[in-house]
Amino acid sequence: MTKLTLASHPYLLGFDQLERLVERTAKSGNEGYPPYNIEQRGENAYRITLAVAGFADADLSITVEDRQLVIRGKQDDAQADRVYLHRGIATRQFQRSFVLADGVDVAGAEMENGLLHVDLTRVLPDSVVQTIKIQTRGAEARSMKTGGDE
């Protein structure tokens, strides 16, 4: 028995990229750190908020790699000389990934009170109507057989 995949369905031509996207999302398996929120701020605007207490702007990087938003955090060990009696604020390195749909772009990012806000916007494409000319091959073929004199 063969496995019917999303991309092999006869009514879903050209959706093999969507299948790879679903597989990539399932494999990302992000752990729970840092916690985050995703909110819709308008019809075509979204905001991802990560709780990054203890991280400075320089400790964070935001990149978009192959339609995947990747947020990384890594702190220097400049505080190695400190002695903690209790350390409850997690400051370990992290990588959090979000798959972006086509047409969704990162509009900007800002830090506010230990929260990293990443704003996203969806750019709606202009609707394009394309007319396809239908060519008739039968009449040309008959014309060529008779020498063009009909």
- Taking the complete model, does pTM exceed 0.95, yes or no? no
**Do residues 73 and 21 both lie within one domain?**
no
**Positions in the chain whose pLDDT score sits under 50:** 150
Task: Please tell me the predicted confidence (pLDDT) of residue 89.
Answer: 76
Q: Which residue has the tokens 């057989």?
A: 145
Instruction: List, in order, residues 6 or more apart from 15 with CB less than 8 Å away.
Output: 6, 7, 9
**Do residues 37 and 10 both lie within one domain?**
no
**Do residues 43 and 16 both lie within one domain?**
no
Let me know if residue 103 belongs to a domain: yes
Q: How far is the first Cα of the chain from the last one, in angstroms, to the nearest whole number?
A: 56
Residue-range definition of the domain harbouring residue 38: 32-124
**Do residues 20 and 47 both lie within one domain?**
no
**Do residues 85 and 38 both lie within one domain?**
yes
Instruction: List, in order, residues 6 or more apart from 11 with CB less than 8 Å away.
Output: none
- Tens of pLDDT, residues 44-79: 999 999 999 889 999 999 999 888 999 999 987 666
Instruction: Count how many domains the chain has.
Output: 2
**Do residues 49 and 4 both lie within one domain?**
no
Nearest CA-CA partner of 98 in 87, 106, 90: 106
